[in-house]
Chain A
Amino acid sequence: MSTRKALAAALALACSGAFAAGPNLGKPITPAEMAPWDISIPPDGAGLPLGGGTPAQGEKIFAQKCAACHGENARGGRNATLVGGDKIVNMDSTRTIANFWPYATTVFDYIRRAMPWPQPRSLTDNEVYALTAYILSENKLIGPDDSMNSETLPKVRMPNRDGFILRFPEKIQ
């Protein structure tokens, strides 16, 4: 290839946006290989796993794996209560799942990635669904027999969903 042709080819490659600045040492990875780490669950529930769980199932798991820190029946212990909470009025208000968290998916996402504190990501997806159902039920955000799964969880309407103001909208778009 002549120098001019090589330069033109390099320029075309650079302009295509691919392979431009770096030495291209990233290795391809497939969604299947990625799956164990791909755990973020947004408000629309995209990526929620198969399975499900009920408040009754969650109550048993909670007593066994969560109550040591969050107290009997999730009413608070060494760490935060997960039930109740007065209406948010100002910065002295205590933020709880019921009075503050805007999306139920965050409950599932956070339990699955970070709990229980000494053994994160040791729960099965069914256990996470059941614990989520238990906490939402104790807060009367769902009925006592409602099962949580990929269909039902994103539909749970949290009371404070519209309680937020974007601080810097111009930084997003």
Chain B
Amino acid sequence: MIFFCRININCKAIFTAMLIGAATISLNGCETTKTVNKNIIFNRADPYEGFNRKIYQFNEDVDNYIAEPVAHAYQAITPQFLQTGIFNFYNNLKNVNIVINDLLQAKFQQVAQDTGRFTVNTTLGLLGVVDAAKKLGLEQNNEDFEQTLAVWGVPRGPYLVFPLLGPVTARGLPGAAFDTAANPSTYFFGAPIQVVSVLNTRANAEGSIKFINEAALDPYVFTRESFLQWRKSLATDGRSEDNMDLDDVIEDNQPVDSDKVSFINEAKQFAKISQQFFNISKSFNQTSESFENAINKLDSLNKKNNKI
């Protein structure tokens, strides 16, 4: 516990330094950056909101003045089937990473499903350009190393916004490094192909960006909340019920003892983590039992053959 706390404190100091550096560099170089409201409401999940908002604004400006026009030009000159093909190709390579994370989370059924998906798309789907597996009813699972760390009980850490890369949590940083290392496209393709991949991703995100701009009263808060909720939903495989029933906010007007709540939450979190470890060890046990059974069967078959 103390070890994790120390890591957390060190990480916080490093992230603060990185964010200060990044914010200073990026904001000095961008005259178009708008003034950010200084009166910021403290949010536990986002202790660096002031810096994050500046980076968010910088990213918005980069998107408005560079990424969006370039992505529109790319969309105009690239036929839809080619955009879909490029998306499918990169998405198929991601399956290697997904299978590794399925294994690390002891989701053995998903391992079989995602391996099947990768094999079908790489062969029948012409190296992944066609999503043949989907037509066969093999839906893609969404797993990455940040979710694996969450399943292992690593705390989420603060919400951060990185220049050009966008939102991430402290837990997502080592996660992103591992995912990049485990993705074959990192090793096989040069910079121009990677640029096409980024452009394609931006072009595909057009609908989501439009939706945020249309719906959000405060796009920064909207992006942060939907990102954190989405990541939590992925990490818990949709089983989190934290944000479902918020009725007690208006029914319970009693002052809340924050220490008591925090203790209860920690106890719940601990119970959850130990349950997850128990589940993982249980599935490992089951797997080893099935291996044992298989070996026993093979032995008995061998004995029968020897007798014959």
Check if A and B associate. no
Which chain A residues have a beta carbon within 8 Å of chain B's beta carbons? none
